Amino acid sequence: MENSLTSLDQVLALSPETAFEAFQSKHSVEKVIEAVRNEALSEVPDVETRKGRERIGSLARKVSESKTAVVKVIDNALVDAESQVKAVKATKKHVEEQFAGIRSAVLKPRDEWQAIQDELEEARQQGILSRITNINQIGNTTGDETLAELNDMAEALEMMTITQDDFAEFTGDALTAKEQAVKKVNDAIVKCVEAETQRQALHEQAVTNSINEIRLTAMHALEENVQAVRTRRETLSQLELDEVFYGERLKEAVSAKSDAIRQLDLLAEQKEALALPQENLIEAPQKMVKIPLWEHQHLQARDATLLALEAAGVDKWAGYDDAIAALMDSAA
- Round to whole Å and give the CA distance between 62 and 39: 10
Quick check: is 130 in a domain? no
Domain endpoint, select from 106, 138, 156: 106
- Residue 47's contacts (CB-CB under 8 Å, 6 or more residues apart) are 53, 56
| H runs (alpha helix) in 238-289 | 243-246, 250-274
Q: How many domains are contained in the chain? A: 2
User: Among 71, 106, 141, which residue terminates a domain?
Assistant: 106
User: Among 106, 127, 151, which residue terminates a domain?
Assistant: 106
Asked, for residue 235, whether it belongs to a domain, the answer is yes
pLDDT digits (tens, 9 = 90+) for 68-101: 988 998 898 888 888 888 888 888 898 989 989 9
Judge whether 186 lies within some domain.
no
Would you place residue 328 in the very low, low, confident or very high pLDDT band (cuts 50, 70, 90)? low
Residue 75 lies in a domain: yes
- Tens digits of per-residue pLDDT, 194-251? 988 999 999 999 999 999 999 999 888 888 899 999 999 999 999 999 999 999 999 9
In a domain, 135, yes or no: no
CA distances to 140, 143, 151, 193 from 137, in Å? 5, 14, 15, 22
Would you place residue 308 in the very low, low, confident or very high pLDDT band (cuts 50, 70, 90)? low
In a domain, 197, yes or no: no
pLDDT at residue 286 above 60? no
Residue 143 domain-assigned (yes or no): no
- Host domain of residue 301: 216-277+291-320
* pLDDT tens figures, 31-54: 888 888 888 888 888 888 999 899
297, part of any domain? yes
Q: Give the integer Cα–Cα distance in Å for 331 and 252.
A: 37
